[in-house]
């Protein structure tokens, strides 16, 4: 069994939204260059495979799939933030396929965990709408693949600095997929308030904690310790998926958070340990945002070291007054669904 599978492909570097666009090929190029320069034992790299039309259809409507397919080979503005180049559609299909492939490998026991190093990212893509640099929702498609393979409960943890509105929308009324997100709030895309908890059968299975700009490693630690991990333990997932965005890094140009490499390592350690306790270590990370190139590549490298069992990070102690208030609002909104939060 491979300890940590890394899935990537040269095609991901050919998705080019434009010269000044923050979601540039340089993001992945920097990550791969550092992994080449400082290789991590216990990892294995494989090329990705594209998603099938049936796999895309588990999340996205026929209208959106036809629209995006029509952009193949073209430079086109999907919205003010989201632009395609001639290879973008094929890269997006490959990113979705890599996400399913990672789930396949981990659930089959061929890899203990995996990191999908793909672009474009996915968590803003709604079932019928591409937006926010995203075309297809990779993590949602991966979760649906896991459900088809027999995983009864799937946890999606989203630590990107922007709320994953698309993932939330995909599972809003579902109780077989628990979506948890920590993000800067209020901020793009203006979703992710603490009272957004799902509805119908899915009430309580969407867990949002929006933090103010300036939140630190210690603030994030409080969210994990007192909200995410107790709920996740009670949920008992069969697979853990992480929308791993790195734009909460303290030098990122698109946000105002203060996370360090240690903070990302601590979040990854928490997820690895949770997966070990609840589902035999079955854990898949999928690359989302992150636009400070040095911080992005170093933080991804840190997380790969954690996955491969080469390091273990912890959160600093303490929590700011503002983060503690945000945490309390989320706990209040959710404690009727999760008795563990009422303690």
**Residue from 15, 30, 60, 124 carrying the catalytic annotation:** 124
Q: Name the residue range of residue 220's domain.
A: 2-342
Active site residue 124: yes
Residue the block writes with tokens 């690359």: 287
Q: For the chain, what's the residue count?
A: 343
Q: Is the pLDDT of residue 171 over 80?
A: yes
pTM tops 0.95, yes or no: yes
Alpha helices in 240-292 (DSSP H): 261-279
Any idea what the CATH number is for the domain that residue 149 is in?
3.40.800.20
20: its two tokens: 């000044």
pLDDT in tens, 77-95: 999 999 999 999 999 999 9
Q: Is the pLDDT of residue 154 over 70?
A: yes
Q: Residue 178 — φ and ψ, nearest 5°?
A: -95, 120
pLDDT in tens, 262-319: 999 999 999 999 999 999 999 999 999 999 999 999 999 999 999 999 999 999 999 9
256: its two tokens: 């105002």
Q: Is the pLDDT of residue 57 over 90?
A: yes
Average pLDDT value for the chain: 98
Q: Is the pLDDT of residue 343 over 90?
A: no
Report pLDDT for 33.
98
pLDDT in tens, 174-215: 999 999 999 999 999 999 999 999 999 999 999 999 999 999
User: For residue 337, what is the DSSP state?
Assistant: T
What average pLDDT does this structure show over 39-64? Answer: 97
Q: Is the pLDDT of residue 166 over 80?
A: yes
What average pLDDT does this structure show over 131-146? Answer: 98
pLDDT in tens, 61-79: 999 999 999 999 999 999 9
pLDDT in tens, 237-260: 999 999 999 999 999 999 999 999
Count of domains forming the chain: 1
Cα separation, 197 vs 199, whole angstroms: 7
66: its two tokens: 């036809």
């Amino acid at each position: 069994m491979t300890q940590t599978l890394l899935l990537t492909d040269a095609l991901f570097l050919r998705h080019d939204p434009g010269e000044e666009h923050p979601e540039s090929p340089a993001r992945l190029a920097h990550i791969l260059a550092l992994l080449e320069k400082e290789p991590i034992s216990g990892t294995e790299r494989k090329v990705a495979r594209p998603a099938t039309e049936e796999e895309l259809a588990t999340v996205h409507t026929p209208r959106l799939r036809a629209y995006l397919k029509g952009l193949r080979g073209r430079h086109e503005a999907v919205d003010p933030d989201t632009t395609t180049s001639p290879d973008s559609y094929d890269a997006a299909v490959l990113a979705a396929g890599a996400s399913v492939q990672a789930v396949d490998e981990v659930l089959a026991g061929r890899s203990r965990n995996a990191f999908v190093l793909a672009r474009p990212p996915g968590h803003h893509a709604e079932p019928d709408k591409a937006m926010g640099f995203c075309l297809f929702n990779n993590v949602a498609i991966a979760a649906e693949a896991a459900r088809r393979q027999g995983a009864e409960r799937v946890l999606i943890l989203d630590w990107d600095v922007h709320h994953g509105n698309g993932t939330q929308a995909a599972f809003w009324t579902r109780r077989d997929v628990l979506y948890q997100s920590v993000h800067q709030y209020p901020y793009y895309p203006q979703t992710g308030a603490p009272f957004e908890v799902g509805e119908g059968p899915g009430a309580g299975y969407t867990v949002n904690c929006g933090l103010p700009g300036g939140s630190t490693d210690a603030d994030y630690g409080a969210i994990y310790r007192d909200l995410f991990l107790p709920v996740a333990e009670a949920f008992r997932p069969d697979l853990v998926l992480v929308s791993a965005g790195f734009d909460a890094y303290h030098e990122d140009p698109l946000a105002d958070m203060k996370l360090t490499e240690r903070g990302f390592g601590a979040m990854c350690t928490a997820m690895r340990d949770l997966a070990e306790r609840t589902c035999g270590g079955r854990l898949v990370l999928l690359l989302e945002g992150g636009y400070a190139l040095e911080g992005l590549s170093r933080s991804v490298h840190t997380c790969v070291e954690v996955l491969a069992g080469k390091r273990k990070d912890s959160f600093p102690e303490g929590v700011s007054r503002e983060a503690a208030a945000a945490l309390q609002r989320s706990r209040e909104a959710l404690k009727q669904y999760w008795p563990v939060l009422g303690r």
